Amino acid sequence: MKKVLLPDQCAEILFDLRDRNVRLLESLFQVRIGARGPRVFIEGDEKHEKILEKILTDFSSLVSNGCSFSNGELREAFQQIAEGAAGSLHDFFPKALVLKTPIREVSPRSLNQSRYVQAIHRNDLVFGIGPAGTGKTYLAVATAVSFLLDKRVQRIVLSRPAVEAGERLGFLPGDLQEKVNPYLRPLSDALIHVIGAERVRKLMDREIIEIAPLAFMRGRTLGDSFIILDEAQNCTSEQMKMFLTRIGLNSRAVVTGDITQIDLPPGQTSGLVEARGLLRGLQGISICEFDRRDVVRHRLVKRIIQAYESMDSVARRGVRSEE
């Protein structure tokens, strides 16, 4: 049995009205937690007792240093540690602030997200690869806005390939702008969430923010820009090479995508898959990979991703047994 001494303020946060934090810790680490005054008792497997002892010691240290967080954030941190996405509460709190505006504060919510943001600051080209909901695009957009507001770049350029789920632009109704908008809406949604619709509109009117299909990038050189290529798993090899050679002086590029959701025709190589293998290890380039532990959407999304991963794993084993 381990014993941890918690200040009164820490105990009040940990043992909230419904003991939700305590019950979550008990279920995540298969331990029993009790308290007598400021003393917290942990009983269970020795390995898990040590993990809980460190969690509570770090928790006490953070609170003593003035760190504040909601119960939801605290429970998310406990979950991340249990799943191995964070090593300690100090990986999660105090959070490295990506951007603060009058309407939004944006911060990483997992260890991989923190590494991703750090990589963007340190490298001219970063690949963010992983499943939906891991914050790849949102954090890239928020970081781009922070670079713009700090005058580290003069404009933001956001792009996507116009190929999704078997549909192409020519088959959609309407004029060119109406055809393009559905493909680019996720990027404008992220911008609006970060800085508001009115400010986005003004910056787009002044061409400080540009959102365009990947095909519109050909022949351009983008200097003094923060460039984001989203849904890059649907780029062909030629399109990826074209995009990467658009990067001009004093520019930074982030390429995001999910290689488990490639919508290219059968037999066509994904430019993102190829670039990941070809460019790994080159100076100035960072490749950051996410998994379901980094998902920050509804908790069901993690379970859905895990279910599909399990199905794919069974299918691969079946193919190997047939061979």
Q: Which of 13, 121, 6 is nearest to 67 (CA)?
A: 13
Decide the pairing of beta strands 125-129 and 104-106: unpaired
- Runs of H (alpha helix) within the chain: 8-14, 20-29, 46-64, 71-83, 89-92, 111-122, 136-149, 176-195, 197-205, 237-244, 271-279, 299-322
Rounded Cα–Cα distance for residues 115 and 135 (Å): 12
Give the CB-side neighbour count of residue 236, counting CA atoms within 13 A. Answer: 10
Contact 4, 57 (CB under 8 A): yes
| pLDDT tens across the length of the chain (323 residues) | 888 888 888 888 888 767 888 899 999 999 999 888 788 999 999 999 999 999 999 988 888 877 777 667 788 888 888 887 677 888 777 666 788 877 888 888 778 888 899 999 999 999 999 998 899 999 999 999 999 999 999 999 999 987 544 445 454 455 444 555 666 788 889 999 999 999 999 999 999 999 888 988 889 999 999 999 999 999 999 999 999 999 999 999 999 999 999 989 888 999 999 999 999 999 999 999 998 778 876 667 667 777 887 776 666 555 455 55
Place of tokens 């199905």: 311
Which residue type occupies 178? E
Helix ranges, 150-289 (H): 176-195, 197-205, 237-244, 271-279
User: How many of the other CB atoms lie within 10 Å of CB of 122?
Assistant: 10
Cis peptide before 173 (omega within 30 of 0): no
Q: Cα separation of 229 and 214, whole Å?
A: 8
**Which residue's structure tokens are 């990467």?**
244
DSSP 8-state assignment for residue 130: -
Residues 6+ apart with CB under 8 A from 299: none
Helices (H) and strands (E) in the chain, counts: 12, 13
* φ, ψ for residue 24, nearest 5 deg: -65, -45
pTM assigned to the model? 0.74
Task: Say which DSSP state 214 is in.
Answer: G
